[in-house]
Amino acid sequence: MSDGYIASMLGLLTPAVLETLYMVAASAVMSYVIGLPLGILLVVSSKGHIMPAPWVERTLGTVINILRSAPFIVLMVALIPFTRMVIGTSIGTTAAVVPLVVAAAPFVARVVESSLKEIPHGVIEAAQSMGASPFQIIYKVLLPEAKSSLILGAAITIINVIGYTAMAGAVGGGGLGDLAIQYGYNRFRTDVMIITVAVLVIFVQAVQTLGTRLAVSAMHTKR
């Protein structure tokens, strides 16, 4: 392998890796900013929970289901006018973050919901019996008790988002997926294809390993 080959490969990979990292980080953060409160709302408004409001749960649940049923590639194209409204353009890496968030936030809401529902009802009742307010129950009971499960959920979300970013090329978002299509597929550069996939595999492994490790250290239950 010549130095020239490595240099050209790095030249292709480096911007793609950075674009992917940027899209994943930005959309993961934004989808938690939106999805975490929604997930909490889904749980606390459910029947028999601390702030029962069946219509809130039902309405929110329906909206989330609708967003989750649209295939990402369709969602991305359908959201072009919305993206332009939010950030002023519909082309580019930042523009790709908007549909990524729209797709990932409902997913986050469901993942958070299932984590919070694992907490035994008795623990919540104990907090109520001590005079805790709904807000205190959320941040002193629900979130800390579900911490380990929430971390695992975050790892799943990030891995999902990494998968979605492969389609970002459709709106000129770049990233590793786009590189694989443009070079690996359209220009028959099998080597680029393989390296790109390898980098993605490393990303996914790293996220999952880190997530599992953090989850275990947050867990105080013997298994």
Partner 1 sequence: MIQIRNLSKVYPARSGDVRALDGVSFDIPQGSVYGIMGLSGAGKSTLVRCLNLLERPTGGEIIVGGHDLTRLSEKQLRSARQKIGMIFQHFNLLQSRTVAGNIAFPLEIAGMTADDIRARVAELLPLVGLEDKAGAYPSELSGGQKQRVGIARALALKPDVLLCDEATSALDPKTTRSILTLLRDINRSLGLTIVIITHEMHVIKDICTHVAVLHDSKCVENATVEEVFLSPKSQVAKEFVSGIFKADIPEELLRELESHSDSELVRVSFLGGSASEPMINGLIRSSDVQVSILFGSVDHVRSTLFGNLLLELRGTDEQRKRAHEYLLGQNLSVERVSYE
- Nearest residue (CB) to partner 1, 113 versus 145: 145
- Nearest residue (CB) to partner 1, 69 versus 220: 220
**Sequential DSSP letters for 99-162:** HHHHHHHHHHHHHHHHHHHTS-HHHHHHHHHTT--HHHHIIIIIHHHTHHHHHHHHHHHHHHHH
Angstrom distance (rounded) from CA 212 to CA 160? 16
Chain positions contacting partner 1, by CB under 8 A = 120, 122-123, 125-133, 136, 140-141, 144-145, 147, 218, 220-222
- Nearest residue (CB) to partner 1, 141 versus 207: 141
Q: Hey, is 52 helix, strand or coil?
A: coil
- Nearest residue (CB) to partner 1, 51 versus 193: 51
CA distances from 182 to 96, 131, 188, 196 (A): 17, 60, 9, 11
- Nearest residue (CB) to partner 1, 170 versus 218: 218
Do 19 and 173 contact (CB within 8 A), yes or no?
A: yes
Q: How far is the CB of 137 from partner 1 (least distance, A)?
A: 9
**Sequential DSSP letters for 174-197:** -SHHHHIIIIIITT--HHHHHHHH
